[in-house]
Amino acid sequence: MTRDEIKKKILAFLEEEFEIQNPGLDDNLREKHEFDSIDAIVLLEYIEELIDSPLLQEEKKRAMDIRNINQIIDYIEGLIRARS
Amino acid sequence: MERRVVITAESSITPIGHGKKEIMGSLMNGRSGVRTLREDKFLAAYIHSKVFGTVDYEVEYDFPRKFRKTLAPVSFYACQVAKEVMDSSGLDQDFVSSGRMGVAFGSIHGSPSVQRAIYETFFNSSEGAYKSINASDYLKSMVHTTAVNITRMFGITGRVISSCTACTTGSQSIGYGYEAIKYGMQDAMLCGAADEYDTTTVAVFDNLLACSTAFNESPEKTPRPFDVNRDGLVVGEGAAALLLEEYEFAKKRGAAILGEVVGFTCNNNGGDMILPSEKGVEQSIAMGLRDARLNPEDVSFISAHATATKMGDIVEARAINSKYGNRPLVSGLKSYMGHTMSACGAIESVIALYMINEGIVFPTLNLEEVDERCAMINHVREIRDERIDIASVQNFAFGGVNTCLFIKRMA
């Protein structure tokens, strides 16, 4: 999966699941779009589907530092690399 | 310090309508909201009582997703009536978020529909079952879910009281909200209760042989409080919210004042967890009158708990007669919509306000022949044009809890 493909899928998911429309890639999701810890868990479940692999507890904890969409994409690319 | 407490806004979702216009229309026309118990593919097939006080119309919600994600059906009801109260209140956000306004709101046990999904994992030990417990499930199902979804939605930052005393939940919410303002801890309280469609509650009463079963083919004919042919209660769903404010604060900001809460009491029978107690109800009435600084003859109307159980109605009628004689008018409003559980005290208080402000007293529906053991009180048998100066709303709950609220007409 390319970075652009990941970006498209994440943006679509954010819009469909969280009603976040046209976010900036560097927007602070919590401050600007009220994205909270409940949403983060839902997003992690989606990422498991996206990469077709369960996340380790340590990988999930690492995701708690993520603040914006660029960081989500970086995180997913890292997960894919670790599994290839 | 004791301060006066007034009611300045109300809203309710009930089996006989949503909001004053619809509810008044049903009451004026003697229209029942009891319907056939709907199928739930769970317990409904086994329950002998096939009737339920049903909200059978669509309620339109426009809550953004950020709020919806922690709302179970019970909190959709709760937040909608809270929203309608807040919209009509005219309170400014600075006050709402000042810490001087709180919430007293409850339900009998959170959201049973969400809890059922969680319980399924108890019997399915697997990673899949573990992961199926969604991050928001607890927030949706916890016992104070209605109260804190309301605080979040409206930015209310004062006290949070979430009573969960079954059928006295709504009246306790109003009573504890009243006390928080009366004694100066808060200037306003959003009070109420809600319960969603749930067959586990029906099953509890059904197994106790306390539910109505003789009118399964004609749901609108039951419940029948005080009637010789009553055969038990009918469980229902619904919600109501009332805004309580300190009198001077409400007057200063020009709020419409619908009535004044002048007294409240809560006591316990100190004995059986289920059987009603005449002595306990009498004590509750006496303590309530003392709190309200009223004499029995000051009370014009009593909204009786009147669930239409064989013993409960007799005990309540005897207790009313013992403390008030047979002068005040008495109606059992559950006759129109069944027993909306936690919400009943709040809904009945809202309807008492309608009666106070419209100068109308609604009768007990389905009261065709008064049981002679309940005949010692002044039953309302038809719509009457009457001025109510003081109304008392009585509610009783499993566990032996009793409450009495006293609401006064504003001059």
Domains (range + CATH), chain A: 3-83 (1.10.1200.10)
DSSP string, B210-234: -B--TTTT-GGG---TTBTT---B-
Residues of A in contact with B135 (CB under 8 A): 37-38, 41-42
| Other CB atoms within 10 Å distance of the CB of residue B175 | 29
| Other CB atoms within 10 Å distance of the CB of residue B297 | 11
CA B243 to chain centre: 14
Work out the average pLDDT over B332-353: 98
Work out the average pLDDT over B207-235: 97
For residues B313 and B350, is the Cβ–Cβ distance under 8 A? no
Has residue B119 got a pLDDT over 90?
Answer: no
Residues of A in contact with B139 (CB under 8 A): 38
Is B135 within 8 Å of A34 when comparing Cβ atoms?
no
pLDDT of residue B126: 77
* Eight-state DSSP code of residue B236: B
pLDDT digits (tens, 9 = 90+) for B224-274: 999 999 999 999 999 999 999 999 999 999 999 999 999 999 999 999 999
C-alpha to C-alpha distance for B302 and A75, rounded to whole angstroms: 64
| Other CB atoms within 10 Å distance of the CB of residue B368 | 11
Q: Where are the domains of chain B?
A: 5-408
Is A37 within 8 Å of B65 when comparing Cβ atoms?
no
For residues B390 and B300, is the Cβ–Cβ distance under 8 A? yes
Q: Which two tokens stand for residue B259?
A: 């009535």
Has residue B116 got a pLDDT over 90?
Answer: no
SS3 content of chain A, % helix, strand, coil (to 5): 70, 0, 30
Has residue B368 got a pLDDT over 90?
Answer: yes
Has residue B306 got a pLDDT over 80?
Answer: yes
The mean of the pLDDT values for chain A is: 95
Contacts 24+ apart (CB under 8 A), A44-52: A45/B131, A46/A13, A46/A17, A47/A75, A47/A76, A47/A79, A50/A1, A50/A6, A50/A9, A50/A76, A51/A76, A51/A79, A51/A80, A51/A83
Is B70 within 8 Å of A38 when comparing Cβ atoms?
yes
CA distances to A62, B63, B89, B120 from B71, rounded to whole Å, are: 29, 10, 23, 20
pLDDT of residue B369: 98
Which residues are within 8 A (CB) of B217 and not within 5 positions of it... i.e. 6 or more apart? Answer: none
CA distances to B40, B206, B235, B366 from B52, rounded to whole Å, are: 13, 12, 5, 16
Burial of B180 (0-12, 13-18, 19+ CB in 10 A): buried
Question: At the topology level of CATH, where does B5-408 sit?
Answer: Peroxisomal Thiolase; Chain A, domain 1 (3.40.47)
Is A19 within 8 Å of B64 when comparing Cβ atoms?
yes
Residue A38: which of B64, B69, B131 has the nearest Cβ? B69
pLDDT of residue A13: 97
pLDDT digits (tens, 9 = 90+) for A20-57: 999 999 999 999 999 998 899 999 999 999 999 999 99
pLDDT of residue B94: 98
Work out the average pLDDT over B344-372: 98
What stretches of B76-146 adopt beta strand conformation (E)?
Answer: 101-106
Residue A19: which of B65, B135, B139 has the nearest Cβ? B65
pLDDT of residue B176: 98
Nearest to B392 by CA among B291, B224, B246, B263: B263
pLDDT band at B127 (very low <50, low <70, confident <90, very high): confident
In this structure, chain A runs to a length of 84
In this structure, chain B runs to a length of 411
Has residue B278 got a pLDDT over 80?
Answer: yes
- Three-state SS letters, B137-153: HHHHHCCCHHHHHHHHH
pLDDT of residue B118: 85
C-alpha to C-alpha distance for B19 and B85, rounded to whole angstroms: 11
pLDDT of residue B285: 98
Query: In chain B, positions 59-88, which contact chain A (CB-CB < 8 Å)?
Result: 64-66, 69-70
Q: Which of B62, B65, B70, B130 to mutate to test the interface with A (most CBs of A within 10 A)?
A: B65
pLDDT of residue B217: 98
- Between residues B130 and B282, which one has the greater pLDDT? B282
* Eight-state DSSP code of residue A1: -
| Other CB atoms within 10 Å distance of the CB of residue B163 | 29
Please give the residue of chain B at the shortest CA–CA distance from A44.
B135
Work out the average pLDDT over B131-154: 91
| Other CB atoms within 10 Å distance of the CB of residue B226 | 27
Residues of B in contact with A18 (CB under 8 A): 65-66
| E strand or H helix at B8 | strand B5-14
Has residue B58 got a pLDDT over 80?
Answer: yes
Please give the residue of chain B at the shortest CA–CA distance from A18.
B65
C-alpha to C-alpha distance for A52 and A40, rounded to whole angstroms: 18
Nearest to B69 by CA among B148, B143, B137, B144: B137
Tell me phi and psi for residue B384, to 5 degrees: -130, 140
The mean of the pLDDT values for chain B is: 96
Is A34 within 8 Å of B136 when comparing Cβ atoms?
no
Query: In chain A, positions 28-57, which contact chain B (CB-CB < 8 Å)?
Result: 34, 36-39, 41-42, 45
Query: Where is average pLDDT lowest: B5-14, B129-138, B157-166?
Result: B129-138
Per cent of chain A over pLDDT 90 is 95
Size of interface A-B (CB pairs under 8 A): 17
Per cent of chain B over pLDDT 70 is 100
Please, what is the end-to-end C-alpha distance for chain A in angstroms?
12
Output the CA torsion sign for B340, B345, B351, B355: positive
pLDDT of residue B198: 92
pLDDT of residue B120: 80
Please give the residue of chain B at the shortest CA–CA distance from A42.
B135
For residues B3 and B235, is the Cβ–Cβ distance under 8 A? no
Inform me whether the C-beta atom of residue B97 falls under 8 Å from chain A C-beta atoms.
Answer: no
Residue A38: which of B64, B131, B136 has the nearest Cβ? B136
Work out the average pLDDT over B350-365: 98
